[in-house]
Structures are given as structure tokens and as C-alpha cells.
Amino acid sequence: MQLSREELVGAYRRMATIRQFEERLHEEIKTGEIAGFTHLYAGQEAVAVGICDQLSVEDMIVSTHRGHGHCIAKGCDVKAMMQEIFGRAGGTCKGRGGSMHIADLSVGMLGANGIVGGGAPQAVGAALAARLDGKGRVAIAFSGDGACNQGTTFEAMNMAVVTKAPAIFVFENNHYSEHTGDAYAVGTARDIASRAEAFGMKAWRANGCDYFDTYETMRELLDHVRAGNGPAAIELDTERFFGHFEGDPQRYRGKGELDRIREERDCLKAFRAKVAEAKLLDPADLDAVDAEVAALIEAAVVEARAAPAPDPATVADDVYVDYY
Amino acid sequence: MAIMTIRDAILQTLHAEMERDPDILLLGEDVVGGNGTAGGPEAIGGIWGTSGGLYAKFGPDRVIDTPISESAIVGAAAGAALAGKRPVAELMFADFVGVSLDQIWNQIAKFRYMFGGKTRCPAVIRLVYGAGMNTAAQHSQSVYAMLTAMPGLKVVLPATPADAKGLLTEALRGDDPVMFFEHKTLYGVKGEVPDGDHRQRFGEARMVREGGDATIVTCGRMVNFSEKAADKLAADGIGCDVIDLRTTSPLDEEAILDSVEATGRLVVVDESPPRCSLAADICALVATKAFSSLKAPPELVTGPHSPIPFARELERAWVPSPQKIEAAVRRVLAAG
């Protein structure tokens, strides 16, 4: 399927936004101003964007502790996200959640999650709710090669098959669950998709460092699910450019590994090369997008730094809707 | 006596006890770290620094990296314990008890009683807990009250390096399941640790200081906060008994009641929400067994009835502070 010029520029803009957001956080965290744990998504942009570009705002996603990319791809406000990560009152979740718990239900982003495997069952429920509404919406659970080992994920996949829920299990295999390799921790190393198949759903495999492969494969998958065939799964082979969390010394990496994956497996570089080769976009246009994104990220950081902290008196607000 | 951190006290105790007892095995996420990577096993040595060198010394049959599968980690510990071993299972964050709760609550805690006293389940579950690092709602909780409420479990919370060694050794030599809580902000705390064999009996609270005017009962990170408050009060001539419970199950009722009978004034400091908390439990104990000694209503210093927030300002507002403890002591002294 041929994407329009606007679609291509938009895809690049969203991927570049995620990349620059994360690269900037990597620097900002060193200043000590950002508290808590931050898990960066850089390297996996083609997955979040290649998938979410084909969703409507009514479709729903549940995310992981490494959720910034899913949030941006699904349409969360970048400046509000930055404020959330800085722990500001104007953040997406009023500074209560932080990096690991960004959610914006108004754009179908049902929440990042600090519990590995916490999200997959929720996607099944969201999918059952969507079916009840009868508008053809789907619900997607993003999981990694870590969450694929949780019982919750297994239960969710079986229940989705049994209930024929329009749920989609996206497995982003970045080859590390925290500090352990998928060659050790995943019994079906580099073939998580076969687990989904064993539960009785159709599964696809794609290169998660290639926007176009992700997009095309996901298009087939979405057609299958939206046609009422029940759940489906996709495993994407991708890369994590940073550590498990910021501050992780990454002693588990091979010599030169980080340089190699940035050289050979960078989805932004691959995107630029493909659109230039096919003469679809002028590199100068993409440079201009990079500059616009840089200005947005700079403004987001400047505003977040200056933004007011939450009022300590509000610490126990919002626990309930009503409490009586 | 050697001076060391709580982190090193735990690590050295694991080394010593695993050397002594070949039935002890350790399992958890990244307790080795680096398995299946170019860096190789022990590229990490445990993210909290409490398992370094164990894999090299004791090998893959006794030091076992697991997938991220908390139900299976705790359930495997349950099974290994029933099969005669002494498993130590690490939950990287105590909050993950939520993922594995059935194996703790319906299985490990109940085996001995359900099976007519014919079994032992000497599993030690190490849980890294507590606020103070802005790790937000799902990585900051102190879930010891919930586990204290479960008959069949022992619940242990060292606040010093000496107790980390003594209580962990006791846990590894006892025959009951132990929930061993390690506060993530206390790993770097240094103190004297007795050389050689050091066992600290469960159910024996530590009288951190004696002051006579008011009783502060607490545990974990709040021991240090309570001492800070007691220092400030001492400057005004107010003396506090500060009691570090060490274990919440079993509970040293005698230490609490003896102190309250002498002071008549009780402050309980508990890093958790107030409802059905340890603080409420201690208050109930004193109300039922030392009511006539009380000269003022007890004060509970806890977090609010809410999850734990992320932002620094909010987390600080949530966690009990030395200032809040000091104010509570002044209130119990002013009342009655």
C-alpha cells in the first residue's frame, strides 16, 4: 500500500518525536532533576508508530513500563508527558504517576504499567467492551520479551481466543527482559509468536526496526481482527538503544553492540534511506521535521522545568470518585 | 565486629549460609543477571547488589535466574521447600507480591496447618519495599501489614546491618516461611555487625533508646526517622522510648506493653496507609491490654489513605517524616 506524502511525513515526525523525547530525557536525567525510574523506548519507534498510525482515536492500547513511545504514537500531549516525567502539577497525571504510569483515556491510551504482564488481561477486557459497542474498535496489549513469560499474558491470550475478543497481542522483542537475554529467559527464544499460535490465534512476525514492514504486516493483522476473526498476535524483532532503566550500566551488552545496533538497526535511518531511494521525500523535508521536533522538545523541557510542582495538600485527592 | 552496610550484611550472610547449608538455593529475576547475553552470567550480580559472587561460587543449580514470572518464582520456592530444600526467592519489588499472592497466601502460609502439621515450608521470600526513591504507586509500597495478617507467615524487617545478618540467619535456619523485607533506601546504611555466627530471635523487639516520657513503636526505615524525632525532643528535655519491632509476626507484645505501662503515651509510626495497618494493630493491642495505663489517646503516624505518588513534593507529603513524628509525640504529651 502506497502511503501519501503527508502520511510519510507524519510517520517520520512521530518517530522522530519519540526519539528526541527519549534522547533528551537521557540527558535531563543526568542533571538529577527527574526523580524515580525512567525506561526509555528509543530504538523501538517503528513499532509504536507503525502500529498506532493505523488506529483511530477510539481504538485502545495498554502499554508497559517502557511506555513513552506508545503514548506519543497514540496521541498523548508531549508537553504534558514531559511535565509528568518532571513530576509537575500540569503533567498528564498531575505528577502522581510519573514516567511509568502515563495514561490518557481521551486518546485511547489506557495506561503504561509498572507491573510486567499487568496489561495483557486489560486489553482482553477492553476488546470485549469494544465488541459490545459494535463499532469495530480493537484493543492492543503491548508486551515485551519479559511480559511474554508472565502467567497473566498466557491467561489473557487463551481467554481472548475463547471469547473471540478483538484483542491484539503485540510482542516487542528487544532481546532483553531487564538484564537477561531472551536466549535464556524465553523458552521459544526469538519465536514468541509461536506461543500465541499455540493458543489458537493467528500470529505474524515483522522487523520492528522497519516502519514499512511493521506497517504492512500490521495492516494485514488489523484487517483480520476487524473482520471479526477474534484475537491475533504479532512479534516484532526490535532493539533497545538504552539500558533497562536510566542508570543501568549495561554490562550485559557485547563489545560494540550499542554502536552496531545504532548503525544497522536504527528505524529512523532506515526510514530516511527508503524514502530517499524511492524518491518519495526530500531529505531536506525530513531535516525540517527534525528541527520542528527539536523545537517542540526544547519547549517541552523548558516549560516542564518552570512548571509548578503539585500542591502537597492534594496528596490524597483522586483516590475515589466518591467516598461515602 | 565489622562495620558494613545492610546490603553487604545480606550478601555476606547469603554467602556464609549457602556455604554452611547445601540445601539453600536462591532464585529470582536477575539475581545472577546477564544470562543469555554477550556479557554473560553475573554481568549484574543482582540489581540491589545482594547476590554478587553467589553464582560463581555455588553454580547454576543453586543460584537460579528466572524469567519475569513472579507467581512461578514464589510457587517454585513453595515446591522446593516442600521437597526438603531451603529456597530463598527474591521479589525485586515487594509490590510484585500482587502478582504472586496466591502462592504466598493460599499456599505457603497454609501448608503446615492444612496438612495437619506434617509438613514444613521453610521458604524465605525477600521483598524489596518502601518509598523514598520516587518509584511511584507500583514500586514503593510497604506491604508488611497485609502479610502480617496471614497466619502461617513470619514477617521480618531489619533496620540495621546487625539485624539484617541476625534475622536472615534465623530465617534460613528456621523451618517456617519467612517474609524478609528489605527497605530500598536502607541498603547503604552502615553499622556494626557481629562476627561469626549471629542469630537474632524473632519476636524480640529492640529498645533503640529509653526515655520514659513517651513510647514510639516502629519498624524499618521509620526507626531512623523516629530516632531523629527523639533527638529533637531530647533537646527539649523530652525522653522517648523508641522500639524497633524487628519482626511484626511474631510480635513482641511484652516490649510494647512494658514501655506503654511506664510512659502512658503511645505513638506508632508505620510507613503505610492507616486502615488495617500495623499502626492500627499495635493500637488495638495497647487498647485491649494496657488501657488503664494510657494517659492520652495514642497517635498514629502513617501515610494517608491513598496510593503512593510519584512527584517529590507529593511523596514527601505521603511518607511519615521526623517532623510529623515529633509533632505526634508533643500531642500525646499535651493531651491528658
**A273-314 tens-digit pLDDT:** 999 999 999 999 999 999 999 999 999 999 999 999 999 999
- Interface contact A185, partner B, CB < 8 A: yes
SS3 label, residue B203: coil
Q: How far is B273 from chain A (nearest CA, A)?
A: 11
Q: pTM for the whole thing? A: 0.95
- Smallest Cα–Cα separation from B34: which of B44, B26, B24? B44
Looking at beta carbons, which residues of chain B come within 8 Å of A181?
A: 34-37
Looking at beta carbons, which residues of chain B come within 8 Å of A149?
A: 67-69
Evaluate if residue A1 carries a pLDDT over 70.
no
pLDDT for the residue numbered A307: 98
Tens of pLDDT, residue by residue over B229-249, are 999 999 999 999 999 999 999
Evaluate if residue B274 carries a pLDDT over 90.
yes
Q: Which residue has the higher pLDDT, B159 or A190?
A: B159
Q: How far is B331 from chain A (nearest CA, A)?
A: 21
Phi, psi angles (nearest 5°) of residue A276: -75, -45
Tens of pLDDT, residue by residue over B28-82, are 999 999 999 999 999 887 899 999 999 999 999 999 999 999 999 999 999 999 9
Q: Which amino acid is at B197?
A: D
The kind and range of the H/E element at B323 are helix B322-334
Q: What is the distance between the alpha carbons of residues A175 and B27, in angstroms, rounded to a whole number?
A: 21
Tens of pLDDT, residue by residue over B192-204, are 999 999 999 999 9
- What CATH number is given to the structural domain containing A219? 3.40.50.970
pLDDT for the residue numbered B231: 98
Q: What is the distance between the alpha carbons of residues B126 and B20, in angstroms, rounded to a whole number?
A: 20
Q: What is the distance between the alpha carbons of residues A74 and A172, in angstroms, rounded to a whole number?
A: 16
Evaluate if residue B8 carries a pLDDT over 90.
yes
In B, minimum Cα distance to A118 occurs at: B99
pLDDT for the residue numbered B46: 87
Interface test with chain A among B68, B90, B91, B321, by most A beta carbons within 10 Å: B68
Evaluate if residue A189 carries a pLDDT over 80.
no
pLDDT for the residue numbered B336: 73
- Smallest Cα–Cα separation from A42: which of A7, A73, A16, A76? A16
Looking at beta carbons, which residues of chain B come within 8 Å of A88?
A: 311
**Residue at A284 is within a domain:** yes
**Residue at A316 is within a domain:** no
- A316, B306: Cβ pair inside 8 Å? yes
Structural domain boundaries in chain B: 2-193, 206-334
User: What's the CATH fold of domain B206-334?
Assistant: Rossmann fold (3.40.50)
Evaluate if residue A188 carries a pLDDT over 90.
no
Evaluate if residue B158 carries a pLDDT over 80.
yes
- Interface contact A154, partner B, CB < 8 A: no
Please tell me the total count of domains within chain A. 1
Containing domain of residue A296, as a range? 5-309
A181-198 residues labelled b (16+ CB within 10 A) or e (exposed): bbebbbeeeeebbebbee
Looking at beta carbons, which residues of chain A come within 8 Å of B69?
A: 149-151
Tens of pLDDT, residue by residue over B71-130, are 999 999 999 999 999 999 999 999 999 999 999 999 999 999 999 999 999 999 999 999
In A, minimum Cα distance to B138 occurs at: A114
**Residue at A324 is within a domain:** no
- Interface contact A293, partner B, CB < 8 A: no
Tens of pLDDT, residue by residue over A128-144, are 999 999 999 999 999 99
Count CB neighbours of A24 within 10 A: 16
Contact (CB, 8 A) for B129 and B142: yes
pLDDT for the residue numbered A150: 97
Given A101, A147, A179, which is nearest B44 (Cβ)? A179
pLDDT for the residue numbered B43: 87
Contact (CB, 8 A) for A93 and A75: no
- Smallest Cα–Cα separation from B258: which of B281, B285, B225, B229? B285
User: What's the CATH fold of domain B2-193?
Assistant: Rossmann fold (3.40.50)
